[in-house]
Amino acid sequence: MSKLWGGRFQKPTAELVRKFNDSLPFDVRLVDEDIRGSMAWARGLVGAGVLTPHEAQTLVDGLAQVQQEFTAGQFAFAPGDEDVHTAVERRLTEIVGAVGGKLHTGRSRNDQVATDFRLWVMGAVDALLLHVAHLQEALIASAEANLHTPMPGYTHLQHAQPVTWGHWILSHFWPLQRDTVRLVGVRDMASELPLGSAALAGTAYPVDREFLARELGFTGVSQNSLDAVSNRDFAADFLYAAALIGLHLSRLSEQLILFSSSEFGFVRLDDAYSTGSSLMPQKKNPDTLELTRGKAGRLIGSLTGLLATLKGLPSSYDKDLQEDKEPLFDAFDTLEVVLPVMTAVISTLMLRPERMAAQLEPTLLATDLADYLVKRGVPFREAHHLVGQVVQAGEERGVPLTALALADLQAISLHFGADVLTVFDVATSLASRNVTGGTGPDALQEQVMAAKTAVK
């Protein structure tokens, strides 16, 4: 027996078609999941009265040996091995003899591959959760080390209001926390057992599917066999979660690239995590961050590629579905590198608070000046307009707001008093923003606590 389905054919498959059809080169990656699934199926067949306990044990032992051969790198592929399912069954039958031919009773590769793939996704989610948590911990550590270090905050990439490094870096923590929640949701979505659906109509043997689910760590069983063999929502969910992680990391990368430029100079990348130029001796390039930013495109592409594959597919299995695996493998492999790289970049990042401080020019406090007027009874809209005039006066004279004389301010509004200079203080501005989620010192302490609790 070299093929699973040769019986009704009078001609061998064309070599070109064989290569085109084979998925072994990539789905061999599902070998552990395939063997686990087959072991459970063998046990399930005992309950259904198809196998004796002894036969099932022979199959389970044989599968364990196949597993060992794979782990030891000793598995020899044969020409008829079309995909991982075929390869495992072929080798199993070589090892255990004719009883190996009983394993596939009541099962199809359609419910088999859906089961394997879901198991793989659940494992991949767990691995990614760990990588994300490590990055989150690095972000918290960076925040704590410079929690109250002031820096300019930007909207539209223009000076807006003072914030602190701790607040800024934690703004990249929370997106990852949402990614964590999303990943847990992906695992839930994947955790519905398709096995027992057979090719499309449900297996003809009374297999206890709840038992199979428990054996394999699924939380429930699918309710419609046609849907179960074609449902790849969990795969799209995985890619969406992966694409968003990529997107979040690209935003962090972009901002750090900017902050490490000569113009900003807020941070310096560690030598170990930057690269040089072959031509310009002075160059220190943030390639790690640029690549991370670039990989987001690839992750988004994997998601849209899979969605396009799935669109318009009839329910039940269609071979298009074989295209589902590579984008997920690629997305996982991408994130398995990108996340640790980002963690290392953050852990080794050198801050230059003096460069941040040098950018804290007084117009960043214009809102505080408006708030000063509000406290003296001026309606905010009017205060906004008056401070706009103050800014204009400063620009006309070519001096910072702080250099305007009280008389100049009072020419604009008599609500400006001698105490107005107290407004021109970054620490005062920061201290006033202690609402939950704000950049004020007490709020930041709370935020760090909340972040630590979230990541636990």
Place of tokens 């401080």: 357
104 part of the active site: no
Taking CB under 6 A as the binding criterion, the range among 262-270, 314-322, 378-386, 389-397 that sits at the site for ligand ARG is: 314-322
Q: How far is the CB of 442 from ligand ARG (least distance, A)?
A: 55
The correct pick among 58, 93, 110, 429 for binding ligand ARG (CB under 6 A) is: 110
Reduced to 3 DSSP states, what percent helix, strand and coil does the chain have, rounded to the nearest 5? 65, 5, 30
CA angle 113, 3, 66 (to 5 degrees): 60
Taking CB under 6 A as the binding criterion, the range among 259-267, 296-304, 317-325, 401-409 that sits at the site for ligand ARG is: 317-325
Distance CA 22, CA 25 (A): 8
Query: What is the three-state SS of 227-285?
Result: HHHHCCHHHHHHHHHHHHHHHHHHHHHHHHHHHCCCCCCCEECCHHHCECCCCCCCCCE
Query: Between 32 and 425, whose beta carbon lies closer to ligand ARG?
Result: 32
Considering the rule CB under 6 A, would residue 109 count as an interface residue with ligand ARG?
yes
The correct pick among 33, 81, 83, 179 for binding ligand ARG (CB under 6 A) is: 83
Taking CB under 6 A as the binding criterion, the range among 108-116, 264-272, 308-316, 439-447 that sits at the site for ligand ARG is: 108-116
Provide the phi-psi class of 73: left if phi over 0, else alpha when psi is between -120 and 50, else beta: left
Distance CA 75, CA 104 (A): 21
Query: Between 119 and 321, whose beta carbon lies closer to ligand ARG?
Result: 321
**Which 323-352 positions form the footprint of ligand ARG (CB under 6 A)?**
none
Catalytic residue among 156, 253, 260, 347: 156
Query: Which parts of 18-177 are beta strand (E)?
Result: 150-155, 158-164
23 part of the active site: no
Q: How far is the CB of 316 from ligand ARG (least distance, A)?
A: 10
Catalytic residue among 38, 277, 347, 432: 277
The correct pick among 27, 89, 192, 215 for binding ligand ARG (CB under 6 A) is: 27
CB-neighbour burial class of residue 207 (10 A; exposed 0-12, middle 13-18, buried 19+): buried
Distance CA 213, CA 396 (A): 74
Q: How far is the CB of 321 from ligand ARG (least distance, A)?
A: 5
Interface residues toward ligand ARG, by CB under 6 A: 23, 27, 83, 109-110, 113, 317, 321-322
Q: Which residues are catalytic?
A: 156, 277
